[in-house]
A and B are shown apart, each in its own frame.
Chain A
Amino acid sequence: MKKKNLKKSRDSKFNNFKKYRRNFLKILSLFLLFPNKAFSRLYIQSRDKILIKKSNFVWFLDKKDK
């Protein structure tokens, strides 16, 4: 009985992992297929800087500014 339960929990964990992986790949493919759409609002340039697009202008900001 114990063994059966353990197997069930392992399967459900694996299924969850598969679900997360599928979602992750979906999002990744969206970013890869439409990079302009995916990054139109926020560009991450480096650890400290962010680029924000707002009404035909791209602002160069520090992360602390937000």
Chain B
Amino acid sequence: MIFKEIKPELLNNDTPVLIIGSGPAGISIALDLEKKNISSTIIEAGKEFYSEESQSQYEGKIIGDSLEGLSQSRLRQFGGTSAIWGGWCRPFESYDFFKWPISKKNIDPYLEKACSILEIPNKFRTSNLNQEINQAEYQYSLIQFGYHYKEFLKKSDKIKIFLNSQLSHFESENKQITHAVIKNNNKTIKIKSKNFVLATGGIENSRLLIWSRIKNRNLLDDNLPIGKYWMHHPFVYGGKGIVYKSKLNNKFKKKFLNYEGPIHFTQSENFLKEKKILSCSMHIIPTEDKKYENAKQIIREIACFAPKLGNKLRMFLQKKELYCGNIKMHLEENYDSNNSVTLDKKKDKNGIPMPMLNYQQSKTTILSCKKALISFANFCVDKNVGRIAISDNIINENKIKNIAQGGYHHSGGTIMGDNKNNSVVDNNLKVHNTNNLYVLGSSTFTTVGYVNPTLSIIQFSLRLSNYLKEKLV
């Protein structure tokens, strides 16, 4: 059932699980709990659809290097930011977990179910093309959680959703949370529950926990690094290039993954370890998608300084056997405690301080991108499977500062770890030294890797759902 606002008479006196946030994380865990016959209540600060007035509450200050504004990179509405996501999905690599207290094996069992929620095939092949370069397979989901699951959630008698309801903070007795304090149209309502799951995204999770610590000094330890180790996926056009589909097919036979859509490359684990660099993904869109315009322009340019190659490429283009275009890259961000979410002096309409993001782009990230691109360009020439041009901004180290754009895929801030001095949640996503407060979403990611985060977020939601079921039984 979905209610436009919260009313005390509509609330269960003691709901087993209270979920704050109705994005992919919140809805996925609620759907899975329902299958396990466990009721849950979802609190959503936004409205059913986009509203400028609601969205303005998502503004915040960014100090340091420039990023996409905080109210442009996320959505405050039912279904969360999934209403504007690109749908690219791929699970974490096993080497992404080297700083985590868990391994890939702990979330792999939830991959199949996560794919069914996103309505994508569970097919994420990786192929080693040589010792340095891997080809990776992505899947693309069209699911916008707010639109797609609305009718199902309306009919559900196990899930109650209250819109326009903003969490302020938590109240507790000792280390047990007793109530969530909710602000709704200038009213304050307290909701009781056995378990509280904070799933409000990579900025709000930190912001609301920091505010809860200020409001309730006994609940959260001062040492907990809430808001620290914030990350995102810097996005960069690393260069442009051409890759021959047929030559890849002939050279690598079964090793070449012949799939539709953009072609994706990444680095092998050995290469990352050997060069001591962070990972990144390289995507080239096939020519068919662009009606050849971009490809023609690139081939014309090549023909000026390499006429033989230019003529050859024209023939390949006619046969539609080229991936050609800009090389889009998602870069792994460095693990840095100085990049953090803190609170601003300015407050929102409910009296909660607005977020303030301190962010400095690391040089390691861009240097890693440069090494990866050079390795890929050399691979293309050596194997004669393509030709790559690298942007001067990346090759020339003097220009390297602050070239990456982005500010999407907010991660970190409430990271997972064994120790309460360097992490906020334990390996079951429970906040250290509390009994019943959990954090869900990419804010708990200890490292971000190169993959888009939503599929992994859902895997963690399903894992937490299993854990809560065992706990409640």
Chain A residues close to B by CB (< 8 Å): 48-49, 52-62, 64-66
Contact = CB atoms under 8 A, between A and B. Distances in A.
Interface stretch (B83-91, B108-116, B377-385): B377-385
Nearest to A48: B381
B308 A66 contact: yes
Q: Most chain-A CB neighbours within 10 Å: which of B240, B306, B307, B384?
A: B306
Contacts of A61: 306, 309, 381, 387
Nearest to B240: A57
Contact of A56 (B309, B381, B387, B391): B391
Nearest to B239: A57
Contacts of A56: 391-393
B193 to A, nearest CB: 56
A59 B308 contact: no
Contacts of B239: 57
Contact of A65 (B304, B306, B391): B306
A57 B304 CA distance: 14
22 contacts: A48-B381, A52-B305, A52-B306, A53-B392, A56-B393, A57-B389, A57-B390, A57-B391, A57-B392, A59-B306, A59-B387, A59-B388, A60-B381, A60-B387, A60-B389, A61-B309, A62-B384, A65-B309, A66-B305, A66-B306, A66-B308, A66-B309
Contacts of B374: 60
A30 to B, nearest CB: 21
Given A56-B392, A57-B239, A57-B240, A64 B387 contact: no
Interface residues of B, number: 24
A66 B308 CA distance: 6
B344 interface: no
Contacts of B301: 54-55
B1 interface: no
Contacts of A66: 305-309
Contacts of A49: 378, 381
B389 A59 contact: yes
Given A60-B378, A60-B381, A60-B390, A54 B304 contact: yes
B387 to A, nearest CB: 6
A58 B378 CA distance: 12
B38 interface: no
A52 B304 CA distance: 11
A55 B393 CA distance: 11
Contact of A60 (B380, B391, B392): B380
A35 B380 CA distance: 27
A60 B390 CA distance: 8
Interface in B319-363: none
Contacts of A64: 308
A29 B364 CA distance: 35
Interface string B390-412: 11110100000000000000000
B369 to A, nearest CB: 14
A42 B3 CA distance: 67
A40 to B, nearest CB: 11
A64 to B, nearest CB: 7
B362 to A, nearest CB: 23
B189 interface: no
B372 to A, nearest CB: 13
B302 interface: yes
A49 B384 CA distance: 11
Interface in B281-313: 301-302, 304-309
B305 to A, nearest CB: 5
Contacts of A62: 381, 384, 387
